[in-house]
């Protein structure tokens, strides 16, 4: 599968383990992600981490559903790939690298094939904006959770 990948990186005021805890807490996604309407964990690994997760998103032009399969290297890395759904393909990763005590560099890389034609320049702009927004929403969720503890 050949997908055009987009990458977005930022720093979060939290430890890598805190970032990992938020990104793997799929039940809370609708609370902090503007696009995610609902999630459902269908399968878990023996350690309790979600393996297959169904999501429903509102991507402005329409609502989509898909199921992703995740793999993990806690607390610094996770990957996902499409199992089934309204998209032709999706795969990506998050990497968490502690750069100082209480500071983590977060890098998200993702490739998406929506399955219908969008002019190349519009597709690239849309995908980069969507990726940036989702990572920034994630960052805010991590920092909000950290402030509560």
- Per the structure, the count of domains in the chain is 1
Extract the runs of DSSP E, i.e. beta strands, from 23-144: 36-44, 50-58, 63-73, 77-85, 89-100, 103-113
| Phi, psi dihedral angles at 95 (to 5 degrees) | -125, 135
SS3 47: coil
What does pLDDT average to over the chain? 91
User: What mean pLDDT comes out for the span 11-31?
Assistant: 98
pLDDT grade for 20, boundaries at 50, 70 and 90: very high
- pLDDT average, residue stretch 133-146: 96
Domain residue limits at 131? 5-148
Distance from the first to the final alpha carbon of the chain: 42
- Taking only the tens place, the pLDDT of each residue in 86-115 is 988 999 999 999 999 999 999 999 988 766
- CATH code of the domain in which 26 resides: 3.30.530.20
> Is there a contact between 86 and 65 (Cβ–Cβ < 8 Å)?
yes
Q: Tokens for 10, please give them.
A: 């930022």
């Amino acid at each position: 599968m050949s997908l055009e990948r987009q990458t977005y990186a930022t720093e979060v005021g939290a430890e890598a383990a805190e970032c990992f805890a938020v990104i793997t807490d799929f039940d809370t996604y609708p609370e902090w992600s503007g696009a995610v309407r609902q999630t459902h964990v269908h399968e878990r690994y023996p350690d309790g981490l979600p393996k297959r997760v169904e999501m429903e998103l509102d991507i402005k032009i329409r609502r989509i559903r898909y199921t992703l399969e995740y793999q993990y290297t806690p607390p610094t890395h996770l990957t996902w790939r499409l199992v089934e759904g309204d998209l032709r393909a999706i795969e990506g990763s998050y990497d968490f690298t502690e750069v100082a005590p209480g500071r983590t560099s977060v890098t998200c890389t993702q490739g998406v094939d929506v399955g219908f034609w969008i002019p190349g320049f519009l597709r690239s702009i849309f995908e980069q904006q969507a990726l940036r927004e989702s990572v920034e929403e994630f960052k805010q969720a991590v920092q909000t959770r950290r402030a509560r503890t």
